[in-house]
Every structure is written in structure tokens, then in C-alpha cells.
């Protein structure tokens, strides 16, 4: 099932070293094919899904789309994408694409055709908001989605889904599901009533930013009461959908920079033992660091280039990769965690214990921050703790 997928989230333009600004001509290069050694790496990590940030022809960073039907020349061609899909199918890897359907580049043909406004989106003069009440826009987005689903993708991440009228999603997704009933639609939602937003727009899932914030913040401030509150909210959300859970993505500071590499392992253990559909942002499994900046280059530090081959990675990150393997492996051995219930057993500022369960199957997770960060995951039965499945301490 798609909801049991563990995604490796990659920002291709950055990871593959494409020029984001000052493009030299079309800079045509089949960079998508350079992902091949990283597909085996993804499998070795324990993931089975590849979540790709925008790959379509754009002005610069990918979220300023010029042509939704064509792979960005900096990444290759549609034929290179078909090659990538074939390579993923051979390995059993599902692929999700990032669709920017709230806005387009100000120079997109849709603007001249009257399908998008001439005014900027959220103060970005280079972007124009699509007219979501225009039937032509609904036709266009449904057609784009079907075009790439026909090439074998499993679903769509819907960029800034919270800014698009729910009625638009409900209409367009119904059209797409008529042909692709199993497609997954993950809406990027930062704040608000997640359940209501997903229900109104008929989204399968949303990005669980509340949980992301609580995980890193509670570890940073040594205040597990914050996580306790967020777990209560997450339990409510999880009763209605399988949310996308994460501790890192292309829009936020690297988790190792926020809280340090030791606490990042505790964050991962929490992530991998909670209900949801987790994603790992490329490089987090190696302890990559990066803090977002200001201006045009703000995102560069959190969207870095990968080496040509995983063997070229620094050995300094190998221990972090090993812990990721262990925790992702634990998650895969307990797929019921996707829809588990949560019960917080005890908490202080520096410690938390909680139980996740599905029927008679239970795990108990104990995390602590003093005298050094650590976490223990134990099997449980009828409330009695048993075998230790994972333990780590700094």
C-alpha cells in the first residue's frame, strides 16, 4: 500500500548540481540518469519511495514552472524520466512528483492566455497565481496529472495546497481518480485544521508540520511537554488520514543543524515510531548540516549537491546512516505503525515515554535528554514491556 511507503525526498536541481540561477543557455544535461547509483542507496537505507521536488521546465528553482509537460532541460528530457521510471520499477521503488498548481512563473504561457493573474503571488513578482475558478485551469491541471501518472508515477505532492481552494482540488482529483483510482495526493499544508483541509479537498494526506515543529523544538528546548501536546493533536489527525511525517525537507533548516547530530537520532526514532507516512530528506541520513539564509540564495545550504556516487560520501556520516538503517528497518518490520494509536505514559522536561499500538501489538518508546540524549524501543504485550528492539545513547 502507498501509505506504508517510506520516502526518500530529493530536490533534484540541487542534488544533481544543476545551476539554479544564471543558466547558460538551456544547459541541457541528462542529470536524472545520475540518480541511478542513489536508487540502490535508497533501497540500502530501507526506503521504497522516491519523492522528487519539481523536475519540470522552470525559470530557476523549480517552483517557478514554465512547462508542466516537459522535464527541465537541466535535468534531461522526458525520455530520461522514462528511463528513471524503468530503473525505479526494476527495484520496486515508487515515485511521487511535486506539482506546483497554485502558481506558475510570470512568464508562463498561461499568464498571456488569461489563466493566471498578472499580479505576484505572496509578494513574489516572478510568480503568478492560477485562476482556480477557471474551467480551463481545472482541465489543464487534471490533464497534467494524468500525463505523468500514465508514465508510471504513484502520485503527487501538491505544493502550497493550503492556498488553493478546496473545491478546486475536489473537482480536479475526482477527474484524475476516475482514471487512476489508486493515485496518492499529498497536500503541502503548514498550518490550519489538517483534517478539514484534507477532507474538503479530498486529499489523501497532508504534511504534518505541527509534529515536525514539536519534535525538533522539544528536543532543542528540553521540553517534552510540547511533544506531548503535539502527539495528542497528531493522534486526532491520524484518526482521519495517514499524514506525511518528517523531521526535514527542502524548505527547513537541517535537523542536525537545529538540534545536533545526537538529538537528531532521537528525533528519527520518534518519527519512525509514530503513525504516518514518513519521509527522509536526502542527506539527513548522513548528518548533513545547513541553515536557510536570506534572499535569492536562501535555500542553497539545505539543497546541496550530492557526490557522483554514494561511495564518495564522507565517512563521518556513516554512523548516522547506520542508525537510520536500524530505525527504518524497525519501521518496515512493523507496518502497523502507519495507523497506530498513541498513548503518552509519562513525561518530564527531559524525558518522555509513550506507547504505540494496533490491537494487541504494542511498542513502548522511552526517550531522554540527560545526562546525554538516548532512546529505547521495546516490544510490549498487554502493557508489559518485553524485548528491547532498539537502543541508542550518545
Tens of pLDDT along 362-391? 999 999 999 999 999 999 877 677 899 999
Over the Cα atoms of the chain, what is R_g?
21
User: Rounded to a whole number, what is the distance in angstroms from the first to the last CA of the chain?
Assistant: 35
Strands (E), 237-306: 244-245, 277-281
Do the bridges between strand 124-130 and strand 244-245 make them parallel or antiparallel, or are there none, so unpaired?
unpaired
283 and 313 Cβ atoms separated by less than 8 Å: no
| Residue 227 pLDDT > 70 | yes
Tell me the C-alpha distance between 380 and 382, whole Å.
7
Structural domains of the chain in order of their starting residue, each with its CATH number = 7-338 (3.20.20.80)
Q: Could you report the per-residue pLDDT of 323-359, keeping only the tens digit for each?
A: 999 999 999 999 999 999 999 999 999 999 999 999 8
Q: What is the pTM of this model?
A: 0.96
Q: Is the peptide bond before 371 cis (omega within 30 degrees of 0)?
A: yes
Residue 122's pLDDT band (cuts 50, 70, 90): low
Q: Specify the DSSP element, H or E, that contains 144.
A: helix 135-149
Residue 226's pLDDT band (cuts 50, 70, 90): very high
Tell me the DSSP string of 16-79.
TT--SSS--TT----GGGGGHHHHHHHHHHT--EEEEPP-EEESSSSSSEEEEEEE-TTT--HH
Residue with the three cell numbers 545547513 = 290
Residue 78's pLDDT band (cuts 50, 70, 90): very high
Tell me the C-alpha distance between 176 and 170, whole Å.
10
Tell me the C-alpha distance between 67 and 104, whole Å.
9
Average pLDDT, the chain: 95
Amino acid at each position: 500500500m502507498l501509505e506504508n511507503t517510506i520516502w526518500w525526498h530529493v530536490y533534484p536541481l540541487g542534488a544533481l548540481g544543476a545551476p539554479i540561477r544564471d543558466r547558460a543557455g538551456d544547459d541541457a544535461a541528462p542529470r536524472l540518469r545520475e540518480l541511478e547509483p542513489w536508487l540502490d542507496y535508497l533501497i540500502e537505507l530501507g526506503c521504497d519511495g522516491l519523492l522528487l521536488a519539481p523536475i519540470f521546465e522552470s525559470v530557476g528553482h523549480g517552483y517557478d514552472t514554465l512547462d508542466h509537460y516537459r522535464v527541465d532541460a537541466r535535468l534531461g528530457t522526458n525520455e530520461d524520466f522514462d528511463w528513471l521510471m524503468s530503473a525505479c520499477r526494476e527495484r520496486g521503488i515508487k515515485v511521487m512528483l511535486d506539482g506546483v498548481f497554485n502558481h506558475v512563473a510570470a512568464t508562463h504561457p498561461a499568464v498571456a492566455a488569461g489563466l493566471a493573474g498578472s499580479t505576484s503571488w505572496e509578494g513574489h513578482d516572478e510568480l503568478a497565481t492560477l485562476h482556480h475558478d477557471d474551467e480551463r485551469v481545472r482541465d489543464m491541471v487534471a490533464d497534467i496529472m494524468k500525463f505523468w501518472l500514465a508514465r508510471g508515477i504513484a502520485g503527487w505532492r501538491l505544493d502550497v495546497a493550503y492556498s488553493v481552494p478546496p473545491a478546486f482540488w475536489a473537482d480536479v482529483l475526482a477527474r484524475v481518480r476516475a482514471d487512476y483510482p489508486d493515485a496518492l495526493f499529498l497536500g503541502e499544508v503548514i498550518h490550519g485544521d489538517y483534517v478539514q483541509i484534507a477532507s474538503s479537498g479530498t486529499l489523501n494526506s497532508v504534511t504534518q508540520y505541527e509534529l515536525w515543529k514539536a519534535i525538533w523544538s522539544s528536543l532543542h528546548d528540553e521540553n517534552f511537554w510540547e511533544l506531548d501536546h503535539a502527539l495528542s493533536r497528531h493522534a486526532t489527525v491520524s484518526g482521519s488520514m495517514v499524514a506525511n511525517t518528517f523531521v526535514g525537507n527542502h524548505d527547513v533548516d537541517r535537523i542536525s543543524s537545529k538540534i545536533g547530530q545526537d538529538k537528531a537520532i532521537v528525533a528519527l526514532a520518534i518519527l519512525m515510531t509514530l503513525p504516518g507516512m514518513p519521509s527522509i530528506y536526502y542527506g539527513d541520513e548522513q548528518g548533513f548540516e545547513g541553515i536557510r539564509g536570506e534572499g535569492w540564495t536562501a535555500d542553497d545550504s539545505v539543497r546541496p549537491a550530492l557526490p557522483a556516487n554514494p561511495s564518495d560520501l564522507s565517512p563521518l556520516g556513516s554512523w548516522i546512516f547506520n542508525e537510520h538503517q536500524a530505525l527504518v528497518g524497525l519501521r518496515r518490520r512493523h507496518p502497523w505503525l502507519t495507523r497506530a494509536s498513541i498513548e503518552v505514559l509519562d513525561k518530564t522536561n527531559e524525558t518522555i515515554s509513550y506507547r504505540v499500538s494496533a490491537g494487541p501489538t504494542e511498542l513502548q518508546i522511552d526517550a531522554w535528554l540527560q545526562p546525554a540524549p538516548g532512546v529505547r524501543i521495546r516490544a510490549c504485550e498487554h502493557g508489559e514491556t518485553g524485548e528491547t528492539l532498539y537502543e541508542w545513547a550518545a
